[in-house]
Structure 1
Amino acid sequence: MSTKSTTVGFQLAAPEASHIATSENAHEIGAHGEFSRQDNAFTTPFGDGPGQLPVEAGRYRLIVARICPWAHRQLITREVLGLTDAISVGVTAPVRTDNGWRFSLDPGDKDPVLGIEYLNEAYLAADPGYDRRGTVPAVVDVTTGKVVQNDYHRLSNYWEVAWRRLQPDDAPDLYPSSLRPAIDEMSRLNFHAVNNGVYKAGFAHTQEAYEQAFDALFARLDALEQLLGQQRFLLGEHITDSDVRLFPTLVRFDTAYYVAFRTNRNRLIDFPNLWNYARELYALPGWGSTTDFQAIKLGYFGSTNVTGAARVIIPKGPDLSGWDQASTRAEQFGDGDVYLRH
């Protein structure tokens, strides 16, 4: 079910002079060697209120790299909610260059809609003084060519709520109002220990910082393993935004994080409930189809910024055939609709 990727764009382009950071090492490592992720700079919400980004079909282009879990959650949400016609997608190469994310998968090495070679061009168009990393996901207003949103924390919630009127009438409700406090708390816990936790381990500059992140990560995975032995999804019998946020980390765990980030106490396949749960999600439309294992391997192992290795060697493994094995969660918990519907 994984999408076919290509190694085109794996050759790094000659960098251009720029003040934009292109490595986490630039300003995201703390005094004790801990990784502290940069804040998002473009956080204006979508909505109908004053100063908000107007919700308009065809106006925005979602820029992703298929290596990235933060971008992956946007692709899943876009597919599941039926927003594929309303929001176009541009895809960069999975290996970040010295000048940031490059559109070298496209003819002429330029995004066919925006006409730019590097995503950083859209960041600088929005703010000529921008000096943080130009990150994915990024939402670009095609009428101006400027990045207008890169808040991966809230972006899926905007697709779920602010973009409701452009969804089919019976689209899933991934962020039901009655569950939002519980969803937000679940997502907060998972973000700090798991989603960002793997990066805290992988980008740590000291043994102490690495071990703290490692221990917090596996303590949380142990808790989730226990929880998913009692219920089908993170908030009960239906998929919510919390599941959308956890899945991209799980689907990258054995292929990338276990080795590249040294998160090697257990593999995902060593957690029976988490592994069964992840396979159920992977089999659903919009989940496995937006997962590109080859891009994930290229992105995490093809960049010396990520692994710290002196040479670029892309692993042949692991065996991915297990992802196509049927989950038994329906037999365990019932086979009703996995989504709440509007």
Structure 2
Amino acid sequence: MRPIRRRSSLEKPVDLFAYPVSLVMKFWHWALSFVVDPDSGIAWVGSVLLLVVTVRLLLMRSMWRQQYSMRKMAQLAPKMKELQLKYSGRKSPEDRQAQAKEMQELYSGAGVNPAAGCLPLLVQIPVFLGLYYVLLNFSPPGKSIEEASTMTNGAFQPEQVASFLNAEIFGVPLASYIRMPQEVMDSLHPGLQQSDILMLAVPLFVLAGIATFINMWNSFRRQKAAKAAEQAAIAQVEAEDRAGGPFVDGEVVEIDGEKPATAADADVGSEGGSTAADRRDGTAGTPGTPATAGAAGAAVRALEQALMRRPSRRTSSRWPSP
């Protein structure tokens, strides 16, 4: 009976990731053994694929939350831009803290967590790092096939390690790699050549590259669509803001159904002019009269109320013709 050589779980920090990964692989390999030969390459390749599916299913809720947060962030973009404009040019620590507080309140009110999008990526990194380490330790560099078959690999016992080393797919051992020394290939599979490994590996590399390109292209399309929606929302808010006050860029709009007034109408105390409020109330007067002063105060109050209301809907009035 061959002695069993166990790898210490504390040899490297990555073992902390490799052992849970090997447990999931072992479960799926055991489940597939009821369907296919457990010593076949299909059983071992299937266990790796089902490991990936398991991880994706576990992360499905987090990935949904990530997409939800991205959509909500796009909807919040106009309000975030307003905050940036509000605090632009204000560099004091108090202003920075106030801006951060308002931004956090904005996120909390919308139920958005900006860090939620990082969780799926942070979880997948140790999983795939552990998977790489498990596959590498089936046939560790510097060890012969005979030595490797007497060692444990995470949750796998030596019998299962030997099963993996003897498994083949399309006539190529699963434990082989492109730069494997010829003497190791001879001990693994007599007559195996490097060209045999390349004939299987190169098409897999091409398929992996195509899949990566498609994934990146779809991601770019989603980001482009989200950016376009964000810009459209910002443009809509800016247009509503321009129509929300009585004087915007020298133009005026109707406030609560009142007649639009021009900037010249609000110029009180110059050349004996009267305000729009004077003309509506029939109290137009000469400069310096109480009627004119009262109209000026009414115009200022109307301006303040309009700026405080800042309606989110577009006004139905038309811009005055020049």
Structure 1 length-normalised TM: 0.21
Larger Rg: 2
Structure 2 length-normalised TM: 0.22
**Higher relative contact order structure (alpha carbons within 8 Å, sequence separation ≥ 6):** 1
